[in-house]
Amino acid sequence: MLQGKKILLGVTGGIAAYKAVEVVSRLRKAGAEVRVVMTKEATEFVTELTFREISGNPVAVDMWAPIQHWNVAHIALAEWADLALVAPATANILAKAALGVADDMLTTTLLAVTAPVFFAPAMNCNMYAHPAVRENIEKLASRGAHFIAPGTGKLACGAEGPGRLAEPAEIVAALENFFAEGAQLSGVKVLVTAAGTIEPIDPVRYIGNRSSGRMGYALAEEAVARGAEVVLVSGPSALTPPKGLQSFVSVETAKEMREVVLREAETSRIVIKAAAVADYHPKTVSDHKIKKNDEELSIILEKNPDILKELGQKKREGQILVGFAAETQNLLQYAKGKIAKKNLDFIVANDVTKPGAGFNTATNIVKIISRGGEIEELPLMEKREIAKRIFDRILPEEFK
Ligand code: CTP
């Protein structure tokens, strides 16, 4: 998995810097190319020469050193990397990275990296438990950084607790897993729908619902992370579409969504309908803004097509069809009914009346129900984490 991968290793000033030498050695043995950026403090623990020899590449430390080779400049290094790893990551580098400080070669390079970034923290256990450090880790994680948790044991300072740099073999295994997961759905087309549809009443008004699109966008992001070719079809949403999509199609009405989805589904292996599609639309749409008068106003609603049901009728051999069910009562009974009615493989059901669940929240509480009736109940979780669990559940053996 690491064959030919370009790994940028940032080494910071902690006693565990010596273990980073073994990380480089293992990465190279696994076929990766490694370039090292050290902080000045790191050079107090291990020499630049050691990393130069073990990586077989020049080591960058000083922003102002005369350029010996074009590719040690921080931007070129950042662009070169398939993945950046900071090991050991001190409390100081976590704070700087969380703030976006750029005052040396490593911090400046990290800001320019667009590839995935991993931190392997190593520090005294009290420092690791400090709220400032926890906050910085959370902040970096919320921006997509990955963490390789430190081990627990006797630390160099004599204290005992979590803070010891993960073993080099574990660090390398974490990167291998990451690349393995990134290739899991390579060449597989995944269609995801998200957010609610809106159904116009007149040029300024519409019927809509509370769906933010968060769940669908998280699913699309997860599918991209697993290497799939992802098409995201979304109703109006304030969210930014994830990077790396094959295409993003913005729609407004159920009718528009149906057209795109039926077309895209023909070539998709996996279809996940997280969108909250309006079940009805106003029968007539006024060309002009409806003026108020003293009378009651009635709007006649006509049924929308059930896109998921049509997908179920047209489902091809091997295609995986996943629906969502937002319910306020009889969750399991209704959700199971929808699996049968719409010919689904799975349904993700949630009771939208529970706190932390449902529309327009960052979290949800869901049950993943299979066609065979198995139920996986997940506790309250971030929607991004739920997206991972959904993929873990719905992928057939051939992808595992
Ligand atoms: N769905 C769809 N087209 C519709 C309505 C719903 O594709 N016109 C899809 C949703 O994207 C979701 C699933 O169907 O994946 C469940 O939607 P829901 O509205 O809960 O189901 P309905 O069958 O419409 O049942 P009800 O509204 O009575 O609960």
Domains and CATH numbers, the chain: 6-181 (3.40.50.1950), 189-399 (3.40.50.10300)
Residue-averaged pLDDT of the chain: 94
32 — pLDDT class (breaks 50, 70, 90): very high
Quote the Cα angle for 202-310-215, to 5°. Answer: 70
> Residue 71: what pLDDT?
58
pLDDT (average), residues 318-325: 97
Query: What length is written for the chain?
Result: 400
CA of 271 to the centre of ligand 1 (A): 14
> Residue 67: what pLDDT?
64
Residue 125 pLDDT exceeds 90 = yes
Please check whether residue 165 is in contact with residue 120, taking contact to mean a CB–CB distance below 8 angstroms. yes
> Residue 341: what pLDDT?
97
Pocket test residue of 210, 306, 313 for ligand 1, highest count of atoms within 8 A of CB: 306
Give, using CA atoms, the residue closest to atom 17 of ligand 1. Answer: 325
> Residue 289: what pLDDT?
96
Which residue pairs from 59-68 have beta carbons closer than 8 angstroms and sit at least 24 positions apart in sequence? Answer: 59/35, 60/35, 60/36, 60/105, 60/109, 61/37, 61/105, 62/105, 63/104, 63/105, 63/108
pLDDT (average), residues 350-357: 88
**Distances from the Cα of 245 to the Cα of 17, 146, 193, 378, angstroms:** 38, 21, 13, 27
Whole-angstrom Cα distance, residue 393 to residue 375? 11
Quick check: CB of 306 below 6 Å from ligand 1? yes
Instruction: Say how many C-beta atoms besides its own lie within 10 A of residue 214's C-beta.
Output: 25
68 — pLDDT class (breaks 50, 70, 90): low
CA of 279 to the centre of ligand 1 (A): 7
CA of 273 to the centre of ligand 1 (A): 9
Higher pLDDT, 310 or 361: 310
Quick check: CB of 155 below 6 Å from ligand 1? no
pLDDT (average), residues 25-37: 97
Give, using CA atoms, the residue closest to atom 14 of ligand 1. Answer: 308
Q: pTM for this one?
A: 0.80
**Could you tell me whether strands 381-382 and 363-364 are parallel, antiparallel, or unpaired per DSSP bridges?**
antiparallel
- Summarised one tens digit per residue, pLDDT across range 150-178 is 999 888 878 888 999 999 999 999 999 99
Provide Rg for the chain, Cα atoms: 25
Quick check: CB of 346 below 6 Å from ligand 1? no
Q: Which atom of ligand 1 is nearest to the CA of 254?
A: 8
- Summarised one tens digit per residue, pLDDT across range 40-67 is 999 999 999 999 999 999 999 988 877 6
Nearby residues of 184 by Cβ (< 8 Å), 6 or more positions away:
226, 227, 395, 399
Q: Which atom of ligand 1 is nearest to the CA of 334?
A: 29
> Residue 359: what pLDDT?
82
Check residue 204 and report its DSSP letter.
T
What proportion of the chain, given as a percentage, has pLDDT over 90? 85
> Residue 72: what pLDDT?
55
CA of 305 to the centre of ligand 1 (A): 10
> Residue 70: what pLDDT?
52
Quick check: CB of 325 below 6 Å from ligand 1? yes
Quick check: CB of 368 below 6 Å from ligand 1? no
> Residue 175: what pLDDT?
97
- Summarised one tens digit per residue, pLDDT across range 246-277 is 999 999 999 999 999 999 999 999 999 999 99
CA of 324 to the centre of ligand 1 (A): 7
Quick check: CB of 119 below 6 Å from ligand 1? no
Whole-angstrom Cα distance, residue 210 to residue 328? 14
